[in-house]
Chains A and B, each alone.
Chain A
């Protein structure tokens, strides 16, 4: 990531990191633009947007690790985790293209195919259900691909938004100090004294099911955590010389905060938020499993597991087992990649 150094104007042009910084911004912009096109349904065809999204994400990851590949890929586990995370992300992004059927298009479903074990075919043998079907004749594999997309996008969206709110509150608290800081941090302490699953459960009980509602609930339970972390970082960064230098140059405080303080508070958050995405996936799937998460029309992995759970005791394990394996794979690979990221980018933070 870019680090703002207290350099003089003529030194900026010779900054060796400049091309990389520009590349990172282009990649970030490409990711944002492709996501916007996918969500709004205008602009480039969906497949093109998805390819841009994937390439942009890979480019961002590569830029993040620039010059530290050897440290990151320190063992076979790092390769395995990266490969499996990449595979799962590709599956989630291209779920529409890769899935054998659209599991939520009722015209493609036949109730006669319900609860078929893995490997069975449908009545005219035109399609094989590699991982079996659920009670409505829905292909489990297709359900998993779509569910993976829901789980990942809900968690990433909630984590990013919570991070943004947390960063603003944390930096504001650290910068303002005094009574404002005391009040904000009291609120943070208060919220963090309750387990996040309980808070999220209560919010969902009040809101009702829905994709937007679960994202909001997940933001509310997470922001305080970021606010506390960022305040700590911002307090220590604000004492450093480059902030004094910026003050000495007579920069207005908004420029010091957004141009100097904020960019230096972000890097430690990258590692935290990677692991936090995994935690959010777990939280979201738990809520969906309990029936207070995503709506039935857009099931995440947790809801798929819940749907098949009732049949498990009668030996029809595949309906909840395979979504469970997918959930385990995504959570484990994000956690392991996060672990490697921490060792690579932030050696000070040890377990």
Chain B
């Protein structure tokens, strides 16, 4: 067990080093690093200072070690546009993305589970088939297009909800969050729904498959024989049994929520990491792009590592396979 975990940890570290090499050579070999890490309108003194800090006058391997050293200390250059260190800038935009992703996950469960359970219950009837066809749309509709449609319907035509921006925020644990203020929550509903739609389709399908399987089990027959109402069987007995795989998959999908947030945030002008990334790409704010890349890689490595560890704890077969390989 410990051997497996250590090996898995070593792999993660290896991936991180590999990514650093890719980023380093991508940044340093393709473009002139001075252009990439120093603002075009920097003063000669600033250029000198940054050159010395990154050691551009040194041989390549020393440069790489310096890059790694600086990266480990969270120094990936300064944003040209905002003038702040890039890593801190992204971290300050992160709470907005995380709260959006969290609300999106909540929505996807709240929409997907009841629909999926119902579709599993009426699997061969038109209701079940209609829900499944609908979930194809949830899978195939482009994220930005759904967001646009929501804005057109709920913000422009009906004027129920605000279209873009973030609204009021409340300071909680040192982070500015809008999920705790009613005005801020209004601004969050449309983007979170847009972000949730794809995951809601996924949850619908998982819940349907789980329900279909669960309905054939003895405990359901027994509950029916006892005279428990169908609603109670579905939403108490069956639901408890199908939630574990759904929660596992959603945990896995948390990382892709952050990725999809890039599109959603751009549509709704939501000031999160994703919007920052797109703005940085358009303004050629390269230190921020590099920092975003490194941060997301770290996030994904951590997520994948955690998932693997949890799987190993839950399912001994993974462990055996991993040790055999």
Instruction: Say whether A175 faces chain B, with CB atoms less than 8 Å apart.
Output: no
Give, as a whole number of angstroms, the nearest-CB distance from A300 to chain B. Answer: 12
From A202, A291, A320, residue with most partner B Cβ within 10 Å: A202
Chain B residues with Cβ under 8 A from A336's Cβ? Answer: 136
Question: Which A-chain residue is minimally distant from B296 (CB atoms)?
Answer: A198
Interface size class of chain B, counting residues whose CB lies under 8 Å from the partner chain:
35 or more
Identify which of residues 203-225 in chain B touch chain A, using a CB-to-CB cut-off of 8 Å.
205
Contact with A along B134-172 (1 / 0, CB 8 A): 001101111111001101100110000001100000000
Instruction: Say whether B278 faces chain A, with CB atoms less than 8 Å apart.
Output: yes
Q: Is the CB of A327 within 8 A of B145?
A: yes
Instruction: Say whether B58 faces chain A, with CB atoms less than 8 Å apart.
Output: no
Question: Which B-chain residue is minimally distant from A204 (CB atoms)?
Answer: B281
Q: Is the CB of A198 within 8 A of B15?
A: no
> Which single member of A195, A205, A309, A327 contacts B260 (CB below 8 Å)?
A195
Give, as a whole number of angstroms, the nearest-CB distance from A223 to chain B. Answer: 17
In the assembled complex, the Cα of A321 lies from the Cα of B157 at a distance in Å of 14
Instruction: Say whether A328 faces chain B, with CB atoms less than 8 Å apart.
Output: yes
In the assembled complex, the Cα of A202 lies from the Cα of B143 at a distance in Å of 18
Instruction: Say whether A315 faces chain B, with CB atoms less than 8 Å apart.
Output: yes
Q: Is the CB of A286 within 8 A of B142?
A: yes
Q: Is the CB of A312 within 8 A of B304?
A: no
Chain B residues with Cβ under 8 A from A235's Cβ? Answer: none
Q: Is the CB of B255 within 8 A of A195?
A: yes
Q: Is the CB of B140 within 8 A of A317?
A: no
Chain A residues with Cβ under 8 A from B281's Cβ? Answer: 201, 205, 290-292
Instruction: Say whether B30 faces chain A, with CB atoms less than 8 Å apart.
Output: yes
Contact with B along A314-325 (1 / 0, CB 8 A): 010100110010
Question: Which B-chain residue is minimally distant from A331 (CB atoms)?
Answer: B140
Question: Which A-chain residue is minimally distant from B205 (CB atoms)?
Answer: A351
In the assembled complex, the Cα of A195 lies from the Cα of B268 at a distance in Å of 21
Instruction: Say whether B26 faces chain A, with CB atoms less than 8 Å apart.
Output: yes
- State whether A289 and B255 are in contact (beta carbons under 8 Å apart), knowing that A205-B281, A312-B151 are contacts in the complex: no
In the complex, how many residue pairs between chain A and chain B have their CB atoms under 8 Å apart? 94
Instruction: Say whether B318 faces chain A, with CB atoms less than 8 Å apart.
Output: no
Chain B residues with Cβ under 8 A from A205's Cβ? Answer: 281, 289
Q: Is the CB of B300 within 8 A of A193?
A: yes
Q: Is the CB of A324 within 8 A of B260?
A: no
Instruction: Say whether B92 faces chain A, with CB atoms less than 8 Å apart.
Output: no
Contact with A along B55-92 (1 / 0, CB 8 A): 00000000000000000000000000000000000000
- State whether A202 and B293 are in contact (beta carbons under 8 Å apart), knowing that A195-B255, A289-B144, A313-B163 are contacts in the complex: yes
> Which single member of B30, B148, B155, B263 contacts A320 (CB below 8 Å)?
B148
Instruction: Say whether B97 faces chain A, with CB atoms less than 8 Å apart.
Output: no
Q: Is the CB of A331 within 8 A of B136?
A: no
In the assembled complex, the Cα of A292 lies from the Cα of B144 at a distance in Å of 14
In the assembled complex, the Cα of A278 lies from the Cα of B155 at a distance in Å of 29
- State whether A206 and B137 are in contact (beta carbons under 8 Å apart), knowing that A193-B304, A198-B259 are contacts in the complex: no
Give, as a whole number of angstroms, the nearest-CB distance from B250 to chain A. Answer: 15
Give, as a whole number of angstroms, the nearest-CB distance from B14 to chain A. Answer: 10
Question: Which B-chain residue is minimally distant from A77 (CB atoms)?
Answer: B133
Q: Is the CB of A305 within 8 A of B144?
A: yes
- State whether A194 and B148 are in contact (beta carbons under 8 Å apart), knowing that A205-B289, A282-B140, A290-B266 are contacts in the complex: no
In the assembled complex, the Cα of A187 lies from the Cα of B163 at a distance in Å of 42
Chain A residues with Cβ under 8 A from B278's Cβ? Answer: 290-292
> Which single member of A195, A285, A321, A327 contacts B152 (CB below 8 Å)?
A321
Instruction: Say whether B277 faces chain A, with CB atoms less than 8 Å apart.
Output: yes
Give, as a whole number of angstroms, the nearest-CB distance from A187 to chain B. Answer: 10
Contact with B along A325-351 (1 / 0, CB 8 A): 001100110011001000000000001
Give, as a whole number of angstroms, the nearest-CB distance from B208 to chain A. Answer: 9
Q: Is the CB of B136 within 8 A of A339?
A: yes
Question: Which B-chain residue is minimally distant from A315 (CB atoms)?
Answer: B156
Give, as a whole number of angstroms, the nearest-CB distance from A315 to chain B. Answer: 7
Chain A residues with Cβ under 8 A from B263's Cβ? Answer: 197, 286, 289-290
Chain B residues with Cβ under 8 A from A206's Cβ? Answer: 26, 30
Instruction: Say whether B182 faces chain A, with CB atoms less than 8 Å apart.
Output: no
Chain A residues with Cβ under 8 A from B282's Cβ? Answer: 291
In the assembled complex, the Cα of A289 lies from the Cα of B268 at a distance in Å of 13
Q: Is the CB of B145 within 8 A of A197?
A: no
Instruction: Say whether A254 faces chain B, with CB atoms less than 8 Å apart.
Output: no
Chain A residues with Cβ under 8 A from B266's Cβ? Answer: 289-290
Chain B residues with Cβ under 8 A from A279's Cβ? Answer: 140
Chain A residues with Cβ under 8 A from B163's Cβ? Answer: 313
Chain B residues with Cβ under 8 A from A193's Cβ? Answer: 300, 304
Give, as a whole number of angstroms, the nearest-CB distance from A138 to chain B. Answer: 20
Instruction: Say whether A190 faces chain B, with CB atoms less than 8 Å apart.
Output: yes
Instruction: Say whether B115 faces chain A, with CB atoms less than 8 Å apart.
Output: no
In the assembled complex, the Cα of A331 lies from the Cα of B141 at a distance in Å of 8
Chain A residues with Cβ under 8 A from B26's Cβ? Answer: 206
**Which 6 residue pairs of A and B lie closest in terms of their CB atoms, listed nearest first?**
A195-B259, A198-B259, A195-B256, A282-B142, A335-B140, A289-B144
Q: What are 19 residue pairs bridging A and B, where the CB atoms are less than 8 Å apart in the complex? A: A182-B325, A190-B15, A193-B304, A197-B259, A197-B260, A198-B262, A202-B289, A285-B142, A285-B144, A286-B142, A286-B143, A289-B144, A292-B281, A313-B156, A313-B164, A317-B156, A328-B145, A332-B140, A336-B136
Which chain B residues have a beta carbon within 8 Å of chain A's beta carbons?
Answer: 15, 26, 30, 132, 136-137, 139-145, 148-149, 151-152, 155-156, 163-164, 205, 255-256, 259-260, 262-263, 266-267, 277-278, 281-282, 289, 293, 296, 300, 304, 325
* 5 further interface pairs, Cβ-Cβ under 8 Å (given A197-B259, A328-B141): A193-B300, A198-B296, A201-B262, A202-B293, A312-B151
